[in-house]
Structure 1
Amino acid sequence: MDTRVARERLLELQRELQETIEGVTSGMEAGVTADSPNGGHDFGDEGAHEQQAAEQEAFVESSRTRLASVQDALKRIEDGTYGVSVVSGKPIPDERLEVRPDAATLADEEL
């Protein structure tokens, strides 16, 4: 994959992830939930709110993990190692990078 194209895609993905994290985090801090867009507190449905908060926290954590992966990929572009597995040193197929531009390994490798 052309590193210029990869950089553009990664920067866009980074921006989207940062916006998502900020938006969800802001909503969590303000007490906004999906079923009560203006916040509020429903004592009769406390369990559902707690479940939703846990799901939002997990989503934010997953987004932060992906953001770190994107930032690592941008560093690999700068280092000249983008598109090469960090495990085996083998080239990562363009098809994999098209689907997952922050891929650091081959599909059958684990970190």
Structure 2
Amino acid sequence: MDTQVARERLLDMQQQLMADIDGIRSRLESGVLPDTPEGGADFGDRGAHEQFAAQDEGLLDGAKRRLASVEDALKRIEDGTYGISVVSGKPIPEERLEARPDAATLTDEDVADAPLR
């Protein structure tokens, strides 16, 4: 993958992930349930709130991890090591980088297909 194309895709991903993180944080801080009617909260409402909060915490954690991965990929572009596995030092297939521009390693399938040295 051309590094300029990769950089643009990664920067778009970075912006989207930061917006997603901000939105999730806002929901968590507000404590407001989606589609909750005004009025008293019963025990079921509190349980639903806890479930939504747990789901949002998971989404937030995943978005933060993906953002870190995207930022690492941007650093690899700057370092000139983009497209090279950080584990094996072998090239990452173009198809993998097209599907996941922040890929840092080979898949198990890529490793199995790699020629022996």
Query: If the length of structure 2 is used for normalisation, what is the TM-score?
Result: 0.85
Q: Provide the aligned length of Structure 1 versus Structure 2.
A: 108
Q: Which residue of 2 aligns with 1:17?
A: 17
Q: Which residue of 2 aligns with 1:44?
A: 43
Q: Which residue of 2 aligns with 1:84?
A: 84
Q: Which residue of 2 aligns with 1:102?
A: 102
Q: Which residue of 2 aligns with 1:93?
A: 93
Identity %: 61
Deviation track 1:13-61 (CA, whole Å, cap 9, x = no partner) reads 000000000011012101122333x887622321121011001001001
Aligned-partner SS, 2:88: coil
Aligned-partner SS, 1:106: coil
8 Å contact from structure 1 (residues 17, 63) kept in 2 = yes
Residue type of the alignment partner of 2:29:
E
Distance 1:14 1:39 in 2: 36
Aligned-partner SS, 1:14: helix
8 Å contact from structure 1 (residues 83, 104) kept in 2 = yes
RMSD: 1.8
Counterparts in 2 of 1:40 and 1:8: CA distance versus 1, 3 Å: farther
Counterparts in 2 of 1:41 and 1:99: CA distance versus 1, 3 Å: farther
- Structure of higher CA gyration radius: 2
Aligned-partner SS, 2:51: helix
Aligned-partner SS, 1:47: helix
Structure 2 alignment gaps of length 5 or more? 112-117
Distance 1:93 1:41 in 2: 56
Q: Which residue of 2 aligns with 1:67?
A: 67
Distance 1:35 1:107 in 2: 41
Query: If the length of structure 1 is used for normalisation, what is the TM-score?
Result: 0.90
8 Å contact from structure 1 (residues 83, 91) kept in 2 = yes
Counterparts in 2 of 1:92 and 1:53: CA distance versus 1, 3 Å: same
8 Å contact from structure 1 (residues 32, 39) kept in 2 = no
